[in-house]
Structure 1
Amino acid sequence: MSATAVVTGAGGGIGLATAIRLASDGVHVLATDIKPEVPGLPSGVDYVQFDLLGGDPAGLLAALDGKPLDYLVNAAGLALFDRDGSVLDTVEAVWDATLGVNLHALRHLTVAAIPLLRSGQGKSIVNVASTAGIRGMDSPLDAYQVSKAAVVSLTRSLALQLGPEGIRANTVCPGAILTPMIEPLYIENPARRTDMEQRTPIRRLGMPEDIANAIAFLLSEQASFITATDLVVDGGWTAQIK
């Protein structure tokens, strides 16, 4: 019987690339996003529209029909670039929305999924954080940064608590990735993209598939001795002192 995964944020970007990658590896994927539908999903991916903020995680997981869960990938994320900024002047609603999606919804779904993971074989969780959660940014995006730092911390705690049961938990921390969330900023300001490419030692932006490949590795048996780790996938960006 093939492994089963739940992937959030599968309406585009990293979540979609991860769902496609896992399906290509023979994993049965329950993909979810707030979008009504996602055209062109491959065989092996079942899509369920779900609001992570307002929905009941148990209702989403019921779509597994009682099957054990092997992998959980929390890839859904929110960055309100036009409204987020310094904690000194960012409005409360931005903090509520950003932490609501990036941290609290992740927490709720993960807690609901743990009993299913306990009965699975893969027993692996990967949470998508960000290099912003482990390093500062040139311009503050404090609600986003804090939410992703919290994801890193929570994932480590889960890894320590669940490790004796054989359940692993890791984060992937992407750098500058060309996702639907960030692409409009580069379209509006092409110089911003050029600058980011030049600041990255590999001299390109990352693609969602780069992160999906890292996630697939951390989920796999090849990473069976890796837990409580933050895998930075940023083309060398954060290794620099500037």
Structure 2
Amino acid sequence: MNHTSTTGTSTSAGPGLLAGKVAFITGAGRGIGAAAARLFAREGAQVLLAARTETQLKAVSEEVRAAGGSADYVVCDLADAAGVRAAVDRAVDLYGRLDVAFNNGATLQRPGPMDALPEADFDHLYAVNLKSVWVSMVAEVAAIRATAGTGAIVNNSSIGSLRGNPELPAYGAMKRAVNSLTESAAVTYGPEGIRVNAIAPGGTLTDMIRAWEAESPGLLERLTAGTPLRRAADPDEIAQAAAWLLSDRSSYVTGTVLRVDGGARA
């Protein structure tokens, strides 16, 4: 695990949604995670970005700093449990506390029926999309408990977790399990003031969905046709939901899986 510091000083003109908070974000090098890093920093948080690809992390961190925000990054493979725990601990080392965390990182599967998915691919999906969320939450709860005392965690799920998912069956299964972990954690840690929620995005214009589209032509068109708003989401729109759930504005919300799907599951 490597680390490079890129801390800047916020010059925003007043308190934001996450002012004064230290935020940890996985999968922060691109897509929804990168959008969250930009947004959380704009809203006043000090952000620690975690992902596998240092060039992406460095670029996002520099962008945050150029906009007047504060960001550091840590290179972390979500399939490596020890690395995940070390990345969370790094937030405390850098900032002295952890207030909020967005567990966004995930890997994809090739679209197709469940019998066509190699067992090794299933195991990798489990390690990255489910086990890493559990490892992250355990470490984040410990860090919040030891420093800020109270805080909030948001896990990135998917509307693909909410019903049968024949195109992405293992992916959907891992995300449904994330929903269960979210609800269990909310019940477990609510009494000490740690809120845990999930968001379930619909079709979002990320590298992941473009990769799925390449494997399954017409996927995005089918998703859009089934969405009342008749479009895919911009990653920033998903990040906005996460920011609200992590903020004090949602102080009585915990244990929910919030659909951010343009009405696709209405």
Q: What is the alpha-carbon distance in structure 2 between the residues aligned to residue 127 and residue 189 of structure 1?
A: 26
User: For the structure 1 residues 175 and 53, does the alpha-carbon distance in structure 2 shift closer, same or farther, using more than 3 Å as the test?
Assistant: same
| Superposition TM-score, scaled by structure 1 size | 0.91
Answer yes or no: is 1:231 the counterpart of 2:250: no
Q: How far apart are residue 190 of structure 1 and its match?
A: 6.6
Q: What is the alpha-carbon distance in structure 2 between the residues aligned to residue 103 and residue 205 of structure 1?
A: 25
Answer yes or no: is 1:75 the counterpart of 2:104: yes
Which residue of structure 2 aligns with residue 136 of structure 1? 164
Which residue of structure 2 aligns with residue 202 of structure 1? 229
Partner AA of 1:21 in structure 2: L
Q: What is the alpha-carbon distance in structure 1 between the residues aligned to residue 138 and residue 216 of structure 2?
A: 40
Q: What is the alpha-carbon distance in structure 2 between the residues aligned to residue 40 and residue 230 of structure 1?
A: 28
| Superposition TM-score, scaled by structure 2 size | 0.83
Pairs aligned (count): 236
SS class of match (1:29): strand
Given candidates 12, 20, 24, the residue that maps to 1:6 is 24
| 1:196-221 Cα shifts (integer Å, max 9, x gaps) | 32221101101111110000000011
Given candidates 99, 118, 130, the residue that maps to 1:91 is 118
Contact map agreement 1:69 1:120 (CA 8 A) in 2: yes
Contact map agreement 2:89 2:143 (CA 8 A) in 1: no
Answer yes or no: is 1:34 the counterpart of 2:52: yes
Which residue of structure 1 aligns with residue 77 of structure 2? 51
Higher mean C-alpha displacement, 164-173 vs 73-82 = 73-82
| 1:31-51 Cα shifts (integer Å, max 9, x gaps) | 010002221431211111111
TM-align CA RMSD: 1.9
Which ranges in structure 1 are unaligned for 5 or more consecutive residues? none
Q: What is the alpha-carbon distance in structure 2 between the residues aligned to residue 19 and residue 165 of structure 1?
A: 27
User: For the structure 1 residues 40 and 113, does the alpha-carbon distance in structure 2 shift closer, same or farther, using more than 3 Å as the test?
Assistant: closer
Higher mean C-alpha displacement, 215-224 vs 53-62 = 53-62
Partner AA of 2:73 in structure 1: Y
Q: How far apart are residue 88 of structure 1 and its match?
A: 3.5
Name the % identity.
36
Which ranges in structure 2 are unaligned for 5 or more consecutive residues? 1-18
